[in-house]
Amino acid sequence: MDEMRNVGRGPGRDALEPLAGAAHDFYIHGFPVLEMARARLRTMGASSNAFIHVRRLSDASSRLVTTPNNDTLYSSAWLDMSLGPVEIELPETGGRYVSLAVLDLYTNNFIVTGSAAGEARQRIRILPPGSLAGAGEVVAPTWWVWAQVRTLVAGSGDLAGARALQNGIVLHAPAGRGPAPAAQADGDAYREVLAIAALLRTEAPPSVQARPLLAAIADAGLTATRLEAGDAAIREAVAVGVASARAAIAARLADDNAVHGWIYQAASLGDFGTDYLYRASIAHWGLGALPVHEAMYMRGVTQGGARSFNGEAVHVLRFGPGQTPPVRAFWSLSLYEVDADGRLYFTANTPGRYAIGDRTPDLVAMADGGLEIWMSVSPPPAGRRTNWLPAPAGPFALVLRAYLPEPALRDGRYRLPPVIAIDPSTGAPMP
């Protein structure tokens, strides 16, 4: 919070610092709610309480949500719980990986079910906040929730089967409403804080655990009444506090320590508790992340510790024989270009390949039976091109997903090998 320490001294400055600190904490706490409201506006469609089925896999044109995957078809429904209870039915999976995750507006997964619960048809009933749940019922923590069903696609020839399963997802819900008013997304700190305050007041009731934090924020002078008045002092404090909060959000993931070239997520991912800074950083980097027992997301770092790789170099990920990630469902390595704000999206490439994993056809094994994945702008030598992930000329990021990870991966007994830069003519590591 150095920005708040640098506001200078003089008349009014002693009062400004607590206000700026309160704005810092308030923005970090509420940023995921703002990001969810923005995602709702982009993805809800004509009405709430209705599933929208995406019938194609994400590619370089997919820019609605950061860090998309290229493994599953998505079915998405924004549920307006103020209209009454809803029920979701999942069809029999036939052995295919399918997961239903329902997130509250703070991005906590309060329901995760699907393949891990078995292959039989499932029915989930969700009640509005404050309801008394009976057997088989779950109470929503916020007045809006986001239901996402991920349906695995085993390759281009499997799309018809995945789409048929999507058609079997049934939602029983009251008639929905049109999109909510747009949340401010222009980067103006004061308008964003006003938007967060409105969302917390109307759609996202704070958890019991958050009440002491919000009480302290109000005690420091950051109240709804003062925000709405918008005097010069409060605007200045908000500008300073939000700048500090944005820097903290950006730095949170950068501060994670890598293990053998990979950053592993915290155990609280997807069900964050009071780790508000981590929650905000994930909302910025990968909105809608699943909890660790359902999926793990590892981000690669360079040999020097940077979180982005240089696309002009040639990089290789080598798994020894029998050393690919231990999972009960599937794994994949995705390559993303890094935009100016640090968000990750697939990069356009001629083969149209955005990920390699355990379902990728025709991968060529190494002589010892291991697996080698190449990442470069130009294609690798003949014989390795089926193992090639095309990279952009600029910075790129790597994320390895592991669905239904085995205990050895979850508890750290298994670690991914590092990504190394190599001399493409010899395959030897670069100094």
**Mean of the per-residue pLDDT values of the chain:** 91
- Please provide residue 345's backbone torsions phi and psi, each rounded to the nearest 5 degrees: -140, 155
Check whether 6 has a pLDDT greater than 50.
Answer: no
> Cα(149)–Cα(327) distance, rounded to whole angstroms?
19
Type of residue numbered 228: E
The pLDDT of residue 182: 63
Other C-beta atoms lying within 10 Å of the C-beta of residue 110:
18
Q: First-to-last CA distance in the chain?
A: 38
Q: What is the pLDDT of residues 158-176, one digit of tens each?
A: 999 999 999 999 999 999 9
Compute the distance between CA of residue 293 and CA of residue 267 in angstroms, rounded to an integer: 9
3-state helix, strand, coil in the chain (%, to 5): 30, 25, 45
pLDDT tens for 164-210 read 999 999 999 999 998 777 665 578 999 999 999 999 999 999 999 99
Residue 313 parent element (H or E): none
Q: Phi and psi (nearest 5°) for 100?
A: -110, 125
pLDDT score for 120:
78
Q: What is the band of 253 on the pLDDT scale with cuts at 50, 70, 90? A: confident
Which uninterrupted H or E stretch holds 185? none
Q: Structure tokens of 22?
A: 């309160």
Backbone angles phi and psi of 375, in degrees to 5: -130, 115
- CA-closest candidate to residue 193, choices 238, 244, 250: 238
Give whole-number Cα distances, 417 to 211, 266, 300, 318, 420, in Å: 43, 19, 10, 7, 9
- pLDDT above 90: percentage of residues in the chain: 77
Three-state DSSP at 52 gives strand
Whether the predicted pLDDT of 289 surpasses 60: yes
Going through 128-165 in order, the beta strands assigned E by DSSP cover 137-139, 144-152
Secondary element (H or E) of residue 294? none
- Name residue, tokens 């995760």: 112
Q: Is 212 helix (H, G, I), strand (E, B) or coil?
A: helix
Amino acid at 98: V
Give pLDDT tens digits for 81-137: 999 999 999 999 988 999 999 999 999 999 999 876 666 789 999 999 999 999 989
Distance CA 69, CA 55 (A): 14
Query: Structure pTM?
Result: 0.88
Q: How many CB atoms lie within 10 A of CB 278?
A: 20
pLDDT of 149 higher than 70 = yes
Cα-to-chain-centroid distance, residue 381:
35
- DSSP sequence for 77-110: EEEEGGG--EEEEE---TT--EEEEEE-TT--EE
pLDDT band at 286 (very low <50, low <70, confident <90, very high): confident
Contact 295, 402 (CB under 8 A): yes
